[in-house]
Amino acid sequence: MSALPNRDRRAERREATRREILDAAWEIARRDGLTAVTLREVAASIGMRSPSLYSHFDSKNGIYDAMFASAWIELAAVFDAMEPLPADPRRRLLAVAEMFFDFAVADLARYQLMNQRTIPGFRPSEEAYEASVAVYQRMRENMRRGGVHSQADLDLWTALTGGFVDQQLANDPGGTRWRSQLPRLIDMYCNEVGVPGPSLRGTQ
């Protein structure tokens, strides 16, 4: 009978503490806004002294960096759960739009950190930014399969879907005013960029 590998309990405890710190930071961000996240507030919420946080994160921006990466990793997991996507090009694009829209409006603080420059002086590290690039490339591939190939058409897509999210969050938080118009938006977009398929309007 082979022996089980030794567990690195110190690493496990360190990772558990790191997760606890990030959970506390998200709780503060969702309650009071992203800019309310401070080392003092995070430390106080988990019963830790502020200097102790430096053994896990080198600065407040280090916490933001880890939050940024984790948010994009969460979105990647949502992408994974969607497979397989519809074969029909327009339905494929609608599925992607609805997935992103629902993910975005579900958590204002997370959406702001991922897609807006809410925190003065914060820029994600190259490592954290790679998580967002990976999701963007997956979206790009899904768009390509849906018949969208040019960068200009992809830029138009991100501007339109992001704009719908912004309108929903600003004017009807918790509602469906802009989500209900996603089929119309996708039809308009597909007609403009030449994606074939039957109209989505009136089929939802």
> pLDDT tens-digit profile of 73-96?
999 999 999 889 899 999 999 999
Question: Where does the pLDDT of residue 146 fall: very low under 50, low under 70, confident under 90, or very high at 90 and above?
Answer: confident
Which one-letter amino acid corresponds to residue 6? N
CA atoms within 13 A on the CB side of 201: 9
CATH: 1.10.10.60, 3.40.50.12780, 3.30.1360.20, 3.40.50.970. Which one for 1-58? 1.10.10.60
Mean pLDDT of the chain: 92
pTM given for the model: 0.89
Residue at 75: amino acid letter:
L
Q: Name the segment(s) of the chain with CATH classification 1.10.357.10.
A: 61-204
CATH class of 61-204: mainly alpha
How many Cα atoms within 13 Å fall on the side-chain side of residue 61?
8
Question: What's the confidence (pLDDT) of residue 3?
Answer: 57
3 state SS of 32: helix
DSSP string, 125-192: -HHHHHHHHHHHHHHHHHHHHTT---HHHHHHHHHHHHHHHHHHHHH-TTS-TTGGGHHHHHHHHHHH
pLDDT at residue 203 is higher than 60 = no
Q: What is the pLDDT of residue 155?
A: 96
